[in-house]
Amino acid sequence: MKKLIKVIALQDGYMENGEQFCIKNKEYKIIDQSETTFCFKDDEDEFHWWDFDDCSEFKLIYEDKNILSKIYKHTKTGNLYLILHEGKETDNATPVVVYQALYGDNEIWVRSAYEFYGFNENMELRFENVEIERL
């Protein structure tokens, strides 16, 4: 089983009673996981269990030591990029992705995690993870 280390909320989340439990673009550390569910703690220190089968509100970030799993393709251009780091923006702690072009001058870019892992104006993933066995 792959180890889930954190989730990033892709939208604000509310419980049935209307109380907000997650904030768009915010990272939440995984407290526990099973084969079918994972648990994170919100800002009020309340625990939330979520089914892997019903988690479209979150970007799931797994522990992965394999550099090849960090290569993404831009869906419009087809260009490949390597995720170097994930971090936080200094002013408001918004999660960001630092990534490098694997073409041309190998420029380094920074984009909010919500934008990087999210959808473009055509409702397609902006970047999609590609499986590469070797370079």
pLDDT digits (tens, 9 = 90+) for 96-119: 999 999 999 999 999 998 889 888
Strands 95-101 and 108-112, by their bridges, are antiparallel
- Average pLDDT (23-44) is 87
All structural domains of the chain = 4-62 (2.30.30), 67-129 (2.30.30.320)
Q: What is the pLDDT of residue 82?
A: 92
Q: Which residue did the predictor score with more confidence, 69 or 95?
A: 95
Q: How far apart are CA 16 and CA 54, in angstroms?
A: 16
Tokens of 9: 């909320």
Taking a C-beta distance cutoff of 8 angstroms, is the pair 29, 42 a contact?
A: no
This model's pTM is above 0.95: no
Those residues whose C-beta lies under 8 Å from the C-beta of residue 78, and which sit 6 or more positions away, are: none
39 neighbors 49 (Cβ within 8 angstroms): yes
